[in-house]
Amino acid sequence: MGVSGGTVSKLFFAAVGDSRPPNEDDTSNYPSAIITKIYSDIQQTNPEFVVATGDYQYANPSGTQGASQVSMYVQARQAYSGVVFPAMGNHECTGYTDSNCTSTGSSNNYATFMSQLLGPIGQTKPYYRFDVNDSAGQWTAKFIVLAMNAWDSTQSSWLSTQLAQSTTYTFIIRHEPASANTAPGVSPSDAIISQYPYTLYIVGHTHEFSHSSTREVIVGNGGAPISQGDYGYATFTQTATGDIQVSNYDYNSNSAVSTFTVPK
């Protein structure tokens, strides 16, 4: 697996999200120890890659603390040796759920996200796609990473084009869940996605791990002040029948505390 995807014998990846400090510019309380432990746990579990659901900082969008916080995140994620594919959160814009940043001049936090997190994987836009396919040629999977806080007509058209291309699995990675519909891209992207088959939404924003009957998994327990449960991460594993088994791992014990299966 590389920064543009690759081939594997079985789908097996992890997700982590919402790793910001409790308050704006609260860099001294950045949850580095928690994030480092989570990525160390992920390294032991050894997935092929990781997707991240957003909010790596909580900083004044006109200030400089965001760059310091994201640098701390980048340092913590070095505990995992594989590729991480990050999605943009609202704190990568102005911090407000309804904020919309479509250029690096919109916010220092947005510029930091683009340079420190997307630059290393060669992405020049806050939304992108990578593909992971079966090394034996039996299935294909596309991962569509959206930017709900950098929404415009170009991203809308791009999303329709990507979804129109048929694959066995389609995973949608974005920060806000469907319930956070004040984010500029949530309702418009939902309207597009509903026209096509998909496997799962993997989102964050709410500081918990949870899932619903609408094929939406919230992975937002990556270090930000927790809403329920404990800090950790999730894994997504292809079963022998082609379904996707989802497990929530506790970061203290690195053991699965809940598991469920999504039909392909």
Query: At 105, is the pLDDT very low, low, confident or very high (cuts 50, 70, 90)?
Result: confident
Query: Please, is 226 exposed, middle or buried when counting C-beta atoms within 10 Å of its C-beta (0-12, 13-18, 19+)?
Result: middle
What pTM was estimated for this model as a whole?
0.97
Q: What is the per-residue pLDDT across 112-147, written as a single tens digit (0 to 9) for each? A: 999 999 999 999 999 999 999 999 999 999 999 999
Is it the case that residue 212 has pLDDT exceeding 90? no
Provide the pLDDT for residue 185.
97
Provide the pLDDT for residue 264.
84
Element (H, E) at 43: helix 32-45
Range of the domain at 200: 5-262
210 contact partners, CB below 8 Å, separation of at least 6: 217, 218, 228
Quote the CA–CA distance of 187 and 191 in Å, as a whole number.
6
Beta strand 244-250 pairing with 232-238: antiparallel
If one counts the domains in the chain, the total is: 1
Q: What is the per-residue pLDDT across 193-210, written as a single tens digit (0 to 9) for each? A: 999 999 999 999 999 999
Domain harbouring 18, CATH code: 3.60.21.10
Give the mean pLDDT of the chain: 96
